[in-house]
Amino acid sequence: MPLTIGVAQYPTQSSLPRTLQLLTNLTRKSAADGINLLVFPEAFLGGYPRTSYFGATVGGRTAEGRDEFYEYWKQAVDLGDVSPEGLGEYVGPGDGTRQKLEEIARETGVFLVVGCVEKSGGTLWCAVLFVDPVRGLVGKRRKVMPTGTERVVWGVGSPKTLKAIDAVIGGEKVVLGAAICWENYMPLLRTSLYSQGVTIYLAPTADARESWVSTMQHIALESRAFVVGCNQFVTTDSLPAYVPASTARGEMEMEDEDTPLEDVAVEGEVVSNGGSVIFDPLGRPLAGPLWGGTGVLKATIESVEREVVRAKMDMDTAFGGHYSRSDVFKLSVEGLDLKRIR
C-alpha cells in the first residue's frame, strides 16, 4: 500500500466547532480519495490572527486589544496537557478537541498533522499535532520562535518538543518532523530535524510569498526528505472572527455536518494566497504550488525509504551521515537527544 500525502489548503472557520467540522469533512473525503497522511496549515484550529495587532504598541496596550485577545483565547484549543513545557502529559480532559481528532483519525484511518493554537492557562502557543489512527495523539510541537508581532500573543515553546515522530503510514515506517513557518529559516532548528533522520519534513506556515516555495525546495535538497508546505487560502471574508461561540470547556458540539466543502468562503480581498506544495527528496515538485484558492493537494509515494536513500547517496545530513561531518560539527538541543538508533 503506497503512502499518499494530502495537503489541505483551507481557511480557519468562524468558530472552533465549525473548523473541526471542516477538518472532519476534509478527512473523510481525503480517505475516500486514498490519502493516508493529511496535513493542515499553521494555526488551522484556533486561527492565525492575521491583520490583528491586539491594541499593542511599544509601551502601550488598549482595553479593546485585551478584549480581542480574550475572544481569541476562547477560540483556542485546550488539549488537557498538564506538562509545563507542553510535552504531552494529557491528564486533564481538555475541551474535547484531542478526543475528536483521535476519533476522526481512527474512523478514517488517516494520519493527521494539524496546526493549532493551544491554550494553557492564560498563555497561547502555536503548535502542530500528530494524530495516529491507532495510537492517538502521539506528538506535539510548540513553535519555539514566534515571528515578529506573533510574540505579543504566542508563547515561546520548549525545544524539547522538536522530537521527531516515528510512524507507520501506508504500511511503511517513516520519520515525521515539523518546522512551523519561519522556524524554517533557523538553520540549527532545521539541522536538529535532519539529525533525527526525518524522512517527511512538514512545514505548516502562514507565509504566502512566492519565495516560500523556493525555501521548501531548498529544504528538500538539503534534507533529502519529502517536504510538505501547507498554508491557508484566506480572504477578508474568511478571516477568523473572534466572537463568542460554543468553545467553552464541555461545549464542543459539532456544527453543519452536511455543509459542502464548496461553501467555504472564498469571496473578498485575498490576504493569503496559499502556495501549498510538496517536493520530493531531490527537490522535484510532486504537487503544487497551489495559488489562489482552496483545495487538497495529493501526491502518492510508492516507497519513501527508496526515494530518501536514493537521494542520500551523495548527501546525507542526518546524524552520522557522510555529509554531516559529525567529527567536525557538533549540535546539541537542550533537553533533546538527537541520536537515533536505526
| Residue 12 reports pLDDT greater than 60 | yes
Strand 136-142 versus strand 165-169 pairing type: unpaired
Q: What is the mean pLDDT of residues 71-78?
A: 96
* Residue 241, pLDDT above cutoff 90: no
The yes-or-no verdict on residue 193 having pLDDT over 60 is yes
SS (H, E, C) 83-134: CCCCCCCECCCCCCHHHHHHHHHHHHCCEEEEEEEEEECCEEEEEEEEEECC
Mean pLDDT of 52-74: 94
- Name beta bridge partners: 6: 38, 298
Alpha-carbon span 155 to 119, nearest angstrom: 10
Q: What pLDDT sits at residue 114? A: 98
**Amino acid in position 2:** P
Spatial distance between the Cα atoms of 113 and 95, rounded to a whole number of angstroms: 19
Say whether pLDDT at 171 is over 70: yes
E strand intervals along the chain: 3-9, 37-39, 111-120, 123-132, 136-142, 165-169, 172-178, 200-204, 226-230, 233-235, 270-279, 285-291, 295-301
Query: Over 70: is that where the pLDDT of 243 sits?
Result: no
* Spatial separation of the C-alpha atoms in residues 266 and 251, rounded to whole Å: 28
Greater model confidence, 262 or 306: 306
Contact 318, 196 (CB under 8 A): yes
How many C-beta atoms surround the C-beta of residue 70 within 10 A?
12
CATH for 3-159+231-303 is: 3.60.110.10
Residue 240 vs residue 83, higher pLDDT? 83
According to the model, what pLDDT value does residue 265 have? Answer: 62
Where exactly are the structural domains of the chain?
Answer: 3-159+231-303
| Alpha carbons 194 and 55: distance in angstroms, whole number | 39
> Which residue is listed with cell 497561547?
124
Query: Which long-range CB contacts under 8 A does 274-277 form with residues at least 24 apart?
Result: 274/9, 274/208, 274/231, 274/232, 274/233, 275/207, 275/208, 275/209, 275/210, 275/212, 275/213, 275/229, 275/231, 276/7, 276/9, 276/41, 276/229, 276/230, 276/231, 277/7, 277/213, 277/216, 277/228, 277/229
Segment 238-249 mean pLDDT: 50
pLDDT of residue 254 exceeding 50: no
Task: Please enumerate, as own/partner, the contacts of 159-162 that have beta carbons within 8 Å and a separation of 24 or more.
Answer: 159/192, 159/333, 159/334, 159/335, 159/336, 160/85, 160/87, 160/334, 160/335, 160/336, 161/85, 161/86, 161/87, 162/189, 162/192, 162/193, 162/333, 162/336
Confidence of residue 244 (pLDDT cuts 50, 70, 90): very low
How high does pLDDT run on average in the chain? Answer: 91
pLDDT tens digit string along 131-143? Answer: 999 999 999 999 9
| pTM summary value | 0.92
The reported pLDDT for the residue numbered 319 is 82
Task: Report the pLDDT value the prediction gives residue 338, as an integer from 0 to 100.
Answer: 83
Half-sphere exposure of 34 (CA within 13 A, CB side): 9
Residues of the chain with pLDDT > 70: what percent? 91
End-to-end CA separation in angstroms for the chain: 23
For residue 14, how many other CB atoms are within 10 A of its CB?
19
Q: 177 phi and psi, to 5 degrees?
A: -140, 150
CA distances in angstroms from 128 to 42, 256, 260, 288, 318, listed in the order given: 7, 25, 26, 22, 22
Catalytic residue numbers?
42
Q: Answer yes or no: is pLDDT of 242 > 80.
A: no
The three cell numbers locating residue 254:
459539532
